[in-house]
Amino acid sequence: MRLGLFPLPTDATRVQDVIADAEQAEQLGLDSF
Amino acid sequence: MANIFGLDALTTLALAGARTTRIELGTFVVPTFPRHPFAMAQQALTVQGACGNRLALGIGLSHLVTMQDRLGFDWDHPIRHMREYLSVLNPLLAQEPATFEGQEFRVSGAQLGVPGSAAPPVLVRVYSRARGPGHHGYRAAGGPPGPAHRRVITGLRHHQRR
């Protein structure tokens, strides 16, 4: 996971990992994913 | 979220949208050639239903090498393709009747009905000939700008510097 780094908010390649990243991004207070 | 040779971004964001409640969910370039605008609009509105209207839809032509050489699509008129694509996509996203007679797309009275889903903001990846090769960015094609707009634009600028 590398939330917050550009150009991609996530480098996950599996569905469950992307979902987990999105959940964590929201928990961290980010406004977009 | 990227949409290149791996996961389908819209499908994945629909699932992520069901597990989150607040955060805006954005795609980078979802290529237009492999998806008829009816299919794109239908999928985007379904994602909107899954995520409570938090999608920012990024679309684009992708590249000649990928779309023409690898996948066999005709790249002779990419700008015309995108112009016509948006002419069909935008009314469908608004759940209004779409009728269009072009050289790339022809639809007559097509319409979608997805109660509760709003038209997402659409970002179109564009290339700036005036600014020289390699300069590209996103141009909003509809809907109000949101956080994901800023993220993809900032991300693209970062990408250009690399």
What is the pLDDT tens value at each position of chain B, 162 positions in all? 888 789 999 999 999 999 999 999 999 889 999 999 999 999 999 999 999 999 999 999 988 999 999 999 999 999 899 999 999 999 999 999 999 999 999 999 999 999 999 999 998 876 655 554 444 555 555 555 555 555 554 444 444 443
Select the residue of B12, B56, B146 nearest A18 (Cβ to Cβ). B12
Select the residue of B16, B28, B154 nearest A22 (Cβ to Cβ). B16
Name the pLDDT band for A29 (thresholds 50, 70, 90): confident
CA dist., res. B22 & res. B105, Å (int): 36
Q: What is the pLDDT of residue B140?
A: 54
The total of other beta-carbon atoms located within 10 Å of residue B40's CB is 23
pLDDT at A13 over 60: yes
DSSP B63: -
Nearest-Cα residue of chain B relative to residue A10: B1
Structural domains in chain B, sorted by start:
9-16+23-161 (3.20.20.30)
* Cα-based torsion angle of the residue sequence A5, A9, A14, A20 in order, rounded to the nearest 10 degrees: 100
Closest CA–CA distance from residue B101 to any residue of chain A (Å): 36
Q: What is the pLDDT of residue A30?
A: 85
Q: What is the pLDDT of residue A3?
A: 45
Q: What is the pLDDT of residue B72?
A: 96
> Average model confidence (pLDDT) for chain A?
78
Closest CA–CA distance from residue B25 to any residue of chain A (Å): 5
Q: What is the pLDDT of residue B157?
A: 44
Query: Is B24's Cβ below 8 Å from some Cβ in A?
Result: yes
Q: What is the pLDDT of residue B137?
A: 54
Query: Residue B159: CA atoms inside 13 Å, Cβ hemisphere, count?
Result: 16
Q: What is the pLDDT of residue B150?
A: 54
For chain B, where are the E strands, in sequence order? 25-26, 30-31, 55-60, 98-101, 106-110, 122-127, 136-142
pLDDT at A27 over 60: yes
